[in-house]
Amino acid sequence: MMAALSASDNGAEVILIEKNEKLGKKVYITGKGRCNVTNNSDVENLLLHVITNPKFLYSAFYTFDSYMMMELLEKEGLRLKTERGNRVFPESDKSSDVIKTLREALKRRGVEILYDTTVSDVETEDGHFKAVTVLKENKQKKVIEGDAVIIATGGLSYPTTGSTGDGYRFAEDTGHQVKECHPSLVPMNIKEEFVKEMQGLSLRNVNYTLKNGKKVLYDEQGEMLFTHFGISGPLVLTSSCYCAGKDVSKMKISIDLKPALSKEQLDERILRDFSECKNSFFKNSLGKLLPAKMVPVIVKLSGIDAEKKVNEITKEERAKLVELLKNFELTPAGFRSYNEAIITKGGVSVKDINPATMESKKMAGIYFAGEVIDLDATTGGYNLQIAWSTGYLAGMSAALL
């Protein structure tokens, strides 16, 4: 959508080919239906949040940064607001308003949109491009010709939205290298069966460390969630960016459930809780310290007899409990699938694309934009900004060809 808009603004006659019956099905589900459209921050900050190939994005971000995206949307009639972490949302909290704004902007510019039309092949002939399209209704084939083609087909995540990886095939068929793809910003399966007992429990202000052997891959404080298969939530999704596609067999997660307290302070706190219920069983003594769903799990893992009176618990047993709370360990058993992944890691190699124009280095006239390229970022509006910036630059460059 952005590539079409920018190409049109730069004088090109544009045909936007969309396989779905409407535009922006993926955008519709972003930000839990609210669309975290960008991050209200400068290019330096945008680059800091890009995990794969940030340097490739210099030109794209400096040509069209998040402030320009916000200005464009507001000029086109969409009011925006900025929330915690500089996350930008439509004031209406409706992702559909972002799509509507872009759709109407395209209409005003006279961009022709072909709906329910799937590009099956991209071919070249004497510097001209042909997109072979198939109409959903009757499977009728049609060839659309142009001086340039912009491939902006997205990645592989949430394939029901239309992103089924077709662009990777078009790229390979036209001589481009495609880096191996993996689901990223994705929940994790966990080996320990006890996670199931905590399904639905959300932890706030915990410290989460993901290690591969001795190497710390990610260490951050924030929120996470237990599910029927393992863990999810902001900390988990972001941590997956740093290890998607890697062998998880040596990985360990350590959660500090009480990061604000030192071990000594935590021991004092436990002693205080125990002294308030001297004759209680251990299993009934942790209610103030931990969420209810976690108590039976911690009791079991502590090795302390659940039926032991708290005034009989030894200093050594307390020390083990403190250790468990400061270092609650989980073992990753792999990542969830593309059906649950926010983005795709991997894609068309940046080595085959000119970063100043988004044009292919292998074949003049082919451009790439968005998630189809081997680029990805953390959550916070950065992935959409990658799509807006690369789309804008690709559209502009293709129009000025």
Binding site for ligand FAD (CB under 6 A): 17-20, 25-27, 29-31, 35-36, 118-119, 152-154, 157-158, 161-163, 166, 342-343, 370-372, 381-384, 387
In the complex, the smallest distance separating the C-beta of residue 273 from ligand FAD, rounded to whole angstroms, is 40
Q: Which is nearer to ligand FAD, 248 or 387 (CB)?
A: 387
Q: Which is nearer to ligand FAD, 20 or 82 (CB)?
A: 20
Strand partners, 89: 81
Q: Which is nearer to ligand FAD, 50 or 206 (CB)?
A: 50
Q: Which is nearer to ligand FAD, 328 or 338 (CB)?
A: 338
Q: Which is nearer to ligand FAD, 95 or 357 (CB)?
A: 95
In the complex, the smallest distance separating the C-beta of residue 339 from ligand FAD, rounded to whole angstroms, is 9
In the complex, the smallest distance separating the C-beta of residue 380 from ligand FAD, rounded to whole angstroms, is 7
Q: Which is nearer to ligand FAD, 212 or 232 (CB)?
A: 232
Q: Which amino acid is at 145?
A: E
Q: Which is nearer to ligand FAD, 209 or 379 (CB)?
A: 379
In the complex, the smallest distance separating the C-beta of residue 308 from ligand FAD, rounded to whole angstroms, is 46
In the complex, the smallest distance separating the C-beta of residue 272 from ligand FAD, rounded to whole angstroms, is 43
**HEC assignment per residue over 227-267:** CCCEEECHHHHHHHHCCCCCCCCCEEEEEECCCCCCHHHHH
Q: Which is nearer to ligand FAD, 294 or 343 (CB)?
A: 343
In the complex, the smallest distance separating the C-beta of residue 281 from ligand FAD, rounded to whole angstroms, is 44
In the complex, the smallest distance separating the C-beta of residue 14 from ligand FAD, rounded to whole angstroms, is 14
In the complex, the smallest distance separating the C-beta of residue 110 from ligand FAD, rounded to whole angstroms, is 20
